[in-house]
Structure 1
């Protein structure tokens, strides 16, 4: 498990990474915006030898702007090119609305819970 937690300050993004049955689970908390998108990209830069299968747990993400959307799309594309996938799980209503408005849910599979994302 890799833990890159930052102090819980407004505008910060906390990132916690774990591996469940060979799938990388990245739990995020806070805001994904221009200032924090780099932390998201770093967390999703998988080391060699790790299966390119990632579930993003977004239950505690309170805000996401276009920087977050762009990061998700870039990671999705990178993982797909490596014969992997990215799945989103547990999006809070405000974040889910952004994902739906820009059509990310038509490109990246979204699930109500991490357990459902891991099972599919």
Structure 2
């Protein structure tokens, strides 16, 4: 059984860009809420989205797959997805699998917003 309390997601808009601040762990048990935040099932695909992973303590292949799918969907609609603030453990996973070669990664949300 999953432990949803291991994850929290806050959303805000900065200059027309959706910013999702994710805290906790992104894995098989928590991927549903992350997927729904990245690509809300009842909403239009966002055109510009920054995922702030500064408070993510762990991410496995479930998270990698979610970000790849979100990138493909958002890019297909003419938008972009950027990752910001990933800590060393999460950044290492992103780099090992090459996600950083597909999705633009930035040290801070501010840098991700400006591109």
Whether TM-score is above 0.5 comes out as yes
Decide which structure has greater helix share.
2
Q: Which structure's relative contact order is higher, taking Cα pairs within 8 Å and 6+ residues apart? A: 2
Selected match of 2:105 from 95, 100, 110: 110
Among 70, 77, 80, the residue aligned to 1:82 = 77
* Cα shift at 1:51: 4.4
Q: Is the partner of 1:71 in helix, strand or coil? A: helix
TM-align CA RMSD: 1.6
Question: SS of the counterpart of 2:73?
Answer: helix
Cα pair 1:22 1:51 within 8 Å, conserved: no
**With structure 2 as the length reference, what TM-score do the two structures score?**
0.91
Moved over 3 A (4+): none
Aligned residue in 2 for 1:67: 62
Contact 2:46/2:74 (<8 A) preserved = no
Q: Which runs of 5+ in 2 are unaligned?
A: none
Structure 1, gaps ≥5 residues long: 1-6
Kindly provide the CA deviation profile for residues 38-68 of structure 1, in whole angstroms up to 9, marking residues without a partner as x. Answer: 11111012423x7410000000000000000
TM-score (normalised: structure 1): 0.88
